[in-house]
């Protein structure tokens, strides 16, 4: 996910995919000139390309049409979101980030 965020010129904070889940959580910083729907579209596209390279193309798509894009507007909410995503992690990440 950090490489995907670099590609979009966003700052990656944390990402997780729960073991028994069917979704991904991503927390990143982006400039206001980029709308959240556009970020979601590019994240899905680029991550889907990476997944397909690694495991082959799926029959339909890697992604559902939906997705949540909530802006983080204050430090308390940022900390809550970060900790929530951290608890969703399935494997330890190098560097603790």
Q: What is the pLDDT of residues 56-95, one digit of tens each?
A: 998 888 988 888 898 898 999 999 999 999 998 765 555 5
Domain of 38?
Answer: 2-96
Please enumerate in sequence order all residues whose Cβ is within 8 A of that of 28, keeping only pairs 6 or more positions apart, or say none. Answer: 5, 10, 11, 12, 13, 39
Alpha-carbon distance of 2 to 53, in angstroms, equals: 17
Task: Look at the chain and report how many structural domains it folds into.
Answer: 1
**pTM, two decimal places:** 0.81
Q: Tokens 């992690």 sit at which residue?
A: 89
């Amino acid at each position: 996910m950090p490489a995907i965020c670099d590609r979009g010129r966003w700052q990656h904070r944390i990402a997780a995919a729960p073991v028994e889940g069917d979704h991904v959580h991503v927390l990143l910083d982006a400039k206001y000139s980029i709308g959240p729907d556009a970020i979601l579209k590019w994240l899905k596209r680029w991550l889907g390309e990476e997944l397909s390279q690694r495991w082959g193309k799926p029959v339909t798509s890697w992604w559902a049409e939906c997705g949540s894009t909530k802006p983080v507007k204050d430090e308390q909410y940022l900390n809550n979101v970060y900790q929530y995503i951290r608890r969703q992690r399935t494997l330890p990440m190098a560097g603790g980030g």
